[in-house]
Amino acid sequence: MNINKLKSVFIEALGIDESLVVDELAYNSIAEWDSIAHMALVAEIDDQFDIMLDTDDVLDMSSFAKAKEILAKYEISFD
């Protein structure tokens, strides 16, 4: 299921516990999600979902909830 895949991407790229991956998880809200980790996260999302996020989407990805919203534009559903 895509939601589990996205959670795994966040867990791996940010090196955080699964319990932290909730919709409210936001960029810079935890030390692990800094600018360097953000780029690793974007690269992993690109790889795992076989897409290429455009620059605006990379910049707009400010939370886990926003990541789901952005991926929906690439026809990736989380139902």
Domain residue ranges of the chain, discontinuous segments joined by +: 2-72
Proportion of the chain above pLDDT 70, given as a percent: 100
The per-residue pLDDT for 33 is 98
Residue with tokens 């926003």: 66
The per-residue pLDDT for 77 is 94
What is the C-alpha separation between 16 and 32, in angstroms, rounded?
7
The per-residue pLDDT for 37 is 97
**pLDDT band for position 15 (cuts 50, 70, 90):** very high
Pick the CATH number of 2-72 from 3.40.50.300, 1.10.3720.10, 1.10.1200.10, 3.40.50.2300: 1.10.1200.10
Mean pLDDT, the chain, integer: 97
Alpha carbon distances (Å) from 67 to 3, 26, 38, 52: 11, 10, 11, 13
Query: pTM of the entire structure?
Result: 0.95
Cα-flanking dihedrals φ and ψ of residue 72, to 5°? -60, -30
